[in-house]
């Protein structure tokens, strides 16, 4: 019996659509991260990118549990003195409704070169429509 090694050029990548309407943020983010990293596949290999493409629609209708809706903040620093910026969830939802979903999914993916390649396969949209109909994405139940 021989061990099968994954060749990144021959990996079959699927397209998945996740409807975020009424879904809890953490549950949605962990499922999306699992699809992006490829951990749901039998040929998963930790040092190869075998993940699928993920489309998240209705990102502005996500649900938080507990007091996260009121207490959660998103921090950013420009590396200059006094360059500290933070947004509450309400401000982030007005400015960029896809930011909380992207931030949650990015927090569940490795933060190195392969993680950057994996997060590039994530597409987040506010409403029902997305421009990826030609790829024939399949719905994913969270």
Q: Residue 25: what pLDDT?
A: 94
Read off the pLDDT of residues 15-61 as tens digits, 9 standing for 90 and up. 999 999 999 999 999 999 999 999 999 889 888 999 999 999 999 99
Do 18 and 142 meet the contact criterion of CB atoms below 8 Å apart?
A: yes
Query: pLDDT category, 97, cuts 50, 70, 90?
Result: confident
Provide the CATH number for the domain around residue 22.
Answer: 3.90.1180.10
User: Is residue 17 one of the residues assigned to a domain?
Assistant: yes
Q: Residue 132: what pLDDT?
A: 97
User: Is residue 85 one of the residues assigned to a domain?
Assistant: no
Q: Are strands 84-88 and 73-77 parallel, antiparallel or unpaired?
A: antiparallel
pTM of the model: 0.90
Tell me the residue range of the domain where 45 lies.
13-63+97-139
Total domains in the fold of the chain: 1
User: Is residue 18 one of the residues assigned to a domain?
Assistant: yes
């Amino acid at each position: 019996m021989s061990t099968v090694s994954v060749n990144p050029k021959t990996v079959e990548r699927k397209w998945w659509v996740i409807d975020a309407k009424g879904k809890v943020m953490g549950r949605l983010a962990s499922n999306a991260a699992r699809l992006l990293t490829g951990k749901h596949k039998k040929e998963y290999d930790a040092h190869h990118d075998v993940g699928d493409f993920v489309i998240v629609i209705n990102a502005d209708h996500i649900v938080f549990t507990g007091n996260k809706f009121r207490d959660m903040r998103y921090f950013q620093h420009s590396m200059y003195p006094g360059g500290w910026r933070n947004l509450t969830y309400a401000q982030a939802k007005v400015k960029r409704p896809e930011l909380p979903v992207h931030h949650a999914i990015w927090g569940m993916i490795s933060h190195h070169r392969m993680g950057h390649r994996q997060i590039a396969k994530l597409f987040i949209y506010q409403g029902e429509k997305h421009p990826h109909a030609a790829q024939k994405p399949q719905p994913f139940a969270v």
